[in-house]
Amino acid sequence: ILNVEQSPQSLHVQEGDSTNFTCSFPSSNFYALHWYRWETAKSPEALFVMTLNGDEKKKGRISATLNTKEGYSYLYIKGSQPEDSATYLCALRTSYDKVIFGPGTSLSVIP
């Protein structure tokens, strides 16, 4: 059974702090890696799709890196704001239709 892990499970940071979380996955089954941002009572919102080893993507204050050889991806948030509070999901795509989600990292940004 393939397992996608995320750490930490949750964290609380002060407004203005930068933070990062990790997604770990089995490197032998890699097709693509997705990051989603999921606010309570809303739909998960796609942040990044990453396919190449060494990929680095950026969207505003949020960026992500990918290492397919060792099986991890980092998500960074620079200067956290209260509106960044959400659960951040990573998902390993092992084929065109097969996606395995991690349990998520719940971020709370304290004003």
Partner 1 sequence: GAVVSQHPSWVICKSGTSVKIECRSLDFQATTMFWYRQFPKQSLMLMATSNEGSKATYEQGVEKDKFLINHASLTLSTLTVTSAHPEDSSFYICSARPGVHNEQFFGPGTRLTVL
Given 20, 63, 85, 99, the residue binding partner 1 (CB under 8 A): 99
Q: By CB under 8 A, which span of 16-24, 40-48, 58-66, 77-85 interacts with partner 1?
A: 40-48
Does the protein bind partner 1 through residue 102 (CB under 8 A)?
Answer: yes
Cα gap 51→93, rounded to integer Å = 10
Cα gap 12→57, rounded to integer Å = 24
Site map (CB under 8 A) of partner 1, residues 44-83, x = contact: xxx--x----------------------------------
Question: Rounded to the nearest whole angstrom, what is the least distance from the CB of residue 73 to partner 1 in the complex?
Answer: 16
Residue closer to partner 1, measured from CB, 10 or 53: 10
Given 104, 105, 107, 109, the residue binding partner 1 (CB under 8 A): 104
CA atoms within 13 A on the CB side of 48: 24
Cα gap 33→11, rounded to integer Å = 22
| DSSP E strand boundaries for 1-111 | 5-7, 10-14, 19-24, 32-38, 45-50, 56-59, 62-67, 72-77, 86-93, 99-101, 105-110
Catalog residues that contact partner 1 under the rule CB under 8 A. 4, 32, 34, 36, 41-46, 49, 89, 91, 97-104
